[in-house]
């Protein structure tokens, strides 16, 4: 399997990329100098989460091609995202074979700081049928986002939507995942 652990992105006029130099850490590479400018600290036993892919959305990922920067319908929301956050998906060492997702705070990478957290909990992404663009013989004509992560912003409120796997008991309709997470009334 080929992993998608190289993700180019921009912050201002600086060209950067997320990479994984170690199987449990994330780093940011300056594409002009070739130097790593930020990297997660690795604990004595690692953090146990192995990156399989990265995604840093930019405005081309969230707008259709009819929007023209600076055009009549262009708003402040259209300037977003600006490379200050991203996502890493992968698996926990020794866990099942499903992919989970974590948030990356990239707002301070130019000061050498990158932070990862599990703000979304332990969710299993629905990645069946996903084929990494790295496996295509021809490079994609435009940047593509993973089909299981979608970001949006409207009137200053940001949102992320994940395609997730959920198993249900066919007889009762009860969701196994909600019971595991202790969510009452399946809300």
Residue 90, H or E segment: strand 85-92
Which position has the token pair 């995202």?
Answer: 81
Specify burial of residue 166 (Cβ count, 10 A radius: 0-12, 13-18, 19+): exposed
CB–CB of 52/105 below 8 Å? no
Tell me the per-residue pLDDT of 107-145, one tens digit each, with 9 for 90 and over: 999 999 999 998 998 888 988 776 655 555 665 555 567
CA-wise closest residue to 50 among 71, 20, 16: 20
pLDDT at 1: 42
Domain chopping of the chain, boundaries:
6-186
| 160-172: average pLDDT | 85
CA-wise closest residue to 166 among 125, 130, 128: 125
Q: What is this structure's pTM?
A: 0.80
Band of the pLDDT at 23, cuts 50, 70, 90? confident
C-alpha span between 54 and 145 (Å, rounded): 10
CA-wise closest residue to 67 among 79, 81, 85, 84: 79
Q: Is 178 helix (H, G, I), strand (E, B) or coil?
A: helix
Residues whose CB is less than 8 angstroms from the CB of residue 148 and which lie 6 or more positions away in sequence, other chains included? 89, 125, 126, 127, 130, 162, 163
């Amino acid at each position: 399997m080929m992993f998608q652990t190289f993700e180019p992105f921009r912050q201002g006029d600086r060209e950067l990329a997320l990479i994984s130099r170690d199987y449990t850490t994330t780093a940011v590479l300056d594409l002009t100098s070739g130097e790593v400018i930020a990297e997660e600290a690795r604990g004595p036993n690692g953090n146990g989460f192995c990156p399989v892919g990265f995604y840093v959305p930019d405005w081309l990922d969230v707008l259709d091609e009819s929007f023209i920067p600076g055009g009549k319908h262009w708003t402040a929301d259209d300037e977003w995202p600006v490379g200050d956050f991203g996502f890493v998906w992968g698996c926990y060492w020794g866990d099942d074979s499903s992919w989970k997702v974590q948030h990356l705070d990239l707002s301070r990478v130019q000061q050498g700081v990158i932070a990862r957290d599990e703000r979304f909990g332990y969710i299993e992404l629905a990645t069946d049928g996903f084929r990494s663009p790295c496996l295509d013989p021809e490079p994609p004509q435009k940047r593509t986002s993973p089909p299981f992560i979608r970001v949006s912003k409207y009137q200053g409120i940001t949102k992320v939507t994940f395609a997730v796997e959920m198993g249900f008991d066919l007889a009762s309709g009860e969701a196994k995942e909600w019971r595991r997470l202790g969510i009452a009334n399946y809300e």
